[in-house]
Structure 1
Amino acid sequence: MTRSFPAAEKSFRGIWPALLTPLTADLGIDHAKFAAHCKALIASGCPGVTAFGTTGEGPSFSLQERKEAIDQLIKNGIPAAQIMVSTSCAALPETLELTRHAVTAGVHGCLMLPPFFLKGVSDQGIIDGYRYVIDGMAGTPFKLYLYHIPQVTGVPLSHHVISTLKKQYPDTIVGIKDSACNTEHSVGLANAFMKDMTVYVGFEPDLPEMGKRGSTGAISGLANFMPRLVKRLVTEPDAAATPAERERVVKLIGLLNGYSLMPALKGIMAILSGDKAWLRVRAPLVALTADEYQALEKTIAAFGIDTKSE
C-alpha cells in the first residue's frame, strides 16, 4: 500500500530526468541539442528536468558555463519552473553564485552536494557548508534538495546533518536525493524523514519500495531514454506489471556494468538517436571506443528499448 505525506506537496512529483549534457566538437555545451532533449522529455510526460547532476557531468563545467546553460534553456523555450539545477561547485562562493543565478531565473529548485573537495570532514563542517549557501541567499525563498552520493563525493550526509539542516531551514530543505544505491540506507532515510520532506532515490530498482513509502518521483539517469517506465516504477509500485518492469531495469543496469556509466548512458542516447555526437564527454571521463560502442549497440539491440512506451 502506498503512503503519502503532506510534506510531499512542497517538493516535486514525477520523473525529473538527470539530464545527460550534449557537447559540441570542442566539448562546449550544445545548447540547441540540450534544449531539444529537454523538450522531448517534457513531451513524454516528465513534469521537469534536472541539469548538471552527476549524470550530467555537472562539476566538470565552469560556473559561467552552467549559468549560460540555464539562461539558454529558458531562452530556447524550457519553462524555468520545469528546471531543477544541481548547483554544486568545489568552492562555496561559486555554489552560492550559481544557486542565486538559478533561483533568480525562476527554476523549480536546486540540488546540492555537500562540500566535496576535502574528505574526512565533520558533520559540523558539512552543516556549515550548506549554511553558507542558504544564509548567503539573504532570505530569498527557494527549494533545496540535499544530495547524498558518497561513492562519488566521498562525503556522506548523516542523519544528524539532515535533521539539523531541516530544523534550521524547514521551509528551504524540501527533499533529499539518495544515490548511494543502498536499499537499506534509502529505507532508513524514508523511515526517518519522509513525514517532513520527500526522500528520492537515484537507483531505479529501489523506486517501487520507495514509492510504497511515500516517495513521489525520481531524478533518474535511465529516464533520459525510458522515462515512462521509470515513472511507473515509483508511481505504480503495487501494479501487477511492476515486478517485471523492475527486473527489466535491473537487467539493463547489469548489462552496463562493464562500462563507465556516464559514457555508456551517452552511448545509449547515441544509439537510440542515431547521433554519435552524444558520445562526447569531458575529462576525466573517457568516451566509448569504437569497439565498445559497437558492442553496446549489439547489447541494446538485443535488449530492446521502446522509446514510445518506455
Structure 2
Amino acid sequence: MSPHPIDRLPGIWPAMLTPLRADGTIDLERFAAHGRALLASGCGGLTPFGTTGEGPSFSVAERIAAVDALVAGGIPAERLLVSTSACALTDLIDLTVHATRIGAWGTMLMPPFFFKGMSDAGVVAVYDQVIAAARAAHAEQARTQPLRLMLYHIPQVAGIGLTHGVIGTLLARHADLIVGVKDSQCQLAHSLSLLEAFGPALMVHVGNEPDLPELGRRGSTGAVSGLANFIPRTVQRLVGQPDAPTTPDDLAFVQALLGALGGYALVPAFKGILALREHDLGWLPVRAPLQALTPEDLPKLQAALAAVGHPQRPD
C-alpha cells in the first residue's frame, strides 16, 4: 500500500470546543467566531464535534446545523475534519454523508461505542457501510478533492478501541481513502506499535500533546488537539519542530499545564480557560452529563494556570 503524502493531516487542527447558550443550545455565532480565530492563529484546519467538542452529546440535526453554520460563518469546508462518531449506524451515515456533500477535508470516526465486546467483523461492517454511503455521496457531488477518512481510537472514553485486525482489514479494503488514525489512547508505545504495523501507508496522529515531538520525528505532520483551542502555536511547534531549541521548554510547559488541570474534567476546564482568557462567562456551559465550572470556580483555576505560566507565557 502506498502512503498518502499529500493527505497527511497538515498542521494543527483544534478539537473545537462547542460553545453553548444558557438554554443549552449551540451558540452558532460564537462557534464560528472561535473557528475563525483559530484559523487566523495559523491552524491547518478545525475538527468539530470530537470528544473535546462533546460530539456524541448532540443530535444529528444539531451537529449538521452547526457545521453548516461554520461554513456560513466564513470557515472553508475544505478546512474541516468533521468528527462523525455516534452510536447508531444511521446517525454515522447521515453525519458522514453530510460532511462529504459539503466538501469537508475529511471525516474522523471512532467505532460505534454503545455495545461492548464486539467482534472485529462487526466493527468492520459498520465502517464498510459508512464508507459505502460516503463513496456514493462523493460520486453524486462529482467532487475533485479526495474522499478522506481518519480512524479515531480512544478506548478509555469509548469503551471500545480499534484493534490491529480492524485497522488492517479496513486498510486492505479502503486504502484509497483512509489517511490516518488519531490515537488518543495516550500511550506512546501504542502509537509506535501502530506506526510499526501500518506505516507508512497509515500516518498516526496522537491526541496526547506530550507525545507530539516523538511522532513528529517519525513523520507526523500534524495533530487533532484539545489544547490547541488556546495554545495552537505551542502545539504546532511540538510536532512541526520536534528538535528545535524551544522544544524542551514547550514540552515542559504543556506537561505542567496538563498537570495543573489534572483535578478537573478536561472539557469544563478547557471552557473555563477560554472564559478566563476572553473575560466571557458565556464559554462555561457544557451539556449534561458533564458539569460546568461556575464563576466561583474560576479564581482557583486561574491560580493553577498562573502557577505554570499560562496565560502569561506567549503562545
TM-score range, shorter chain: over 0.9
Query: After superposition, what is the alpha-carbon deviation per residue over 1:244-302, rounded to whole angstroms, capped at 9, x for unaligned?
Result: 21111011101111011110111111111111111100001000134432210121233
Counterpart residue number, 2:21: 24
Q: Structure 2: how far apart are the matches of 1:192 and 1:239?
A: 28
From 154, 157, 163, give the equivalent of 2:162.
157
- SS for the counterpart of 1:285 is coil
| Aligned partner of residue 49 in structure 1, secondary structure | coil
Alignment-derived partner of residue 197 in structure 2:
192
| Correspondence for 1:175 among 152, 171, 180 | 180
Partner amino acid for 2:245? Answer: A
Displacement of 1:303 = 2.6
Residue 46 of structure 1 corresponds to 43
Equivalent in 121, 131, 135 of residue 134 of structure 1: 131
Displacement after TM superposition at 1:194 (Å): 2.6
Aligned to 1:116: 113
- Residue equivalent to 1:230: 235
Q: Indicate conservation of the 8 Å contact 2:17/2:229, yes or no.
A: yes
Counterpart residue type for residue 154 of structure 1: G
| Alignment size in residue pairs | 306
CA distance in 1, matches of 2:286, 2:311: 25
- The match for 2:260 is 255
| 1:284 aligned counterpart, secondary structure | coil
- Offset of residue 307 of structure 1: 8.0
Cα distance in 1, alignment partners of residues 307 and 278 from structure 2: 17
Q: 1:68: Cα distance to partner?
A: 0.5
Query: Residue 253 of structure 2 contacts residue 308 of structure 2 at CA under 8 Å; is this kept in 1?
Result: no
Q: 1:91 to 1:101 in 2, by over 3 A?
A: same
Aligned-partner residue type, residue 122 of structure 1: S
Q: Structure 1 CA distance, aligned partners of 2:46 and 2:19?
A: 14
Matched residue of 1:50: which SS?
A: coil
Match of 2:61 in 1: 64
Using the TM superposition, give the Cα deviation of residue 190 of structure 1 relative to its aligned residue in structure 2, in angstroms: 1.7
* 1:90 aligned partner: 87
**Residues 91-125 of structure 1 deviation map (CA, whole Å, 9 limit, x = unaligned):** 11111011111110111000001010001111111
Within-5 A mapping of 1:281-300: 281-300=286-305
Paired position in structure 2 for 1:209? 214
Q: Deviations over 1:60-89 (max 9, x none)?
A: 010000010111111111111011110111
Which SS does the other structure have where 2:107 is aligned?
strand
Task: Name the CA distance, whole Å, in 2 between partners of 1:213 and 1:150.
Answer: 23
Runs of 5+ unmatched residues, structure 2: 139-145
Query: CA separation in 2, counterparts of 1:182 and 1:303?
Result: 24
1:276 and 1:180 mapped to 2: Cα distance?
31
Structure 1 CA distance, aligned partners of 2:312 and 2:285?
22
Which residue is equivalent to 1:276?
Answer: 281
% same residue: 52
Asked if the contact 1:17–1:221 (Cα under 8 Å) also holds between the matched residues in 2, the reply is yes
Contact map agreement 1:8 1:198 (CA 8 A) in 2? no
Is residue 144 from structure 1 mapped to residue 178 from structure 2 by the alignment?
no
1:305 shift after superposition: 2.8
- Residues 49-58 or 281-290, more deviating: 281-290
- The residue type paired with residue 275 of structure 2 is A
Give the Cα–Cα distance (whole angstroms) in 1 for the partners of residues 43 and 79 of structure 2. 9
CA contact (8 A) 1:193 1:199 kept: no
Aligned-residue CA RMSD (Å): 1.5
- Please state how far the C-alpha of 1:308 moved relative to its aligned partner: 8.7
Q: CA deviation at 1:6?
A: 4.7
**Paired residue secondary structure (1:16):** strand
Cα shift at 1:235 = 0.6
| TM-score using structure 1 length | 0.95
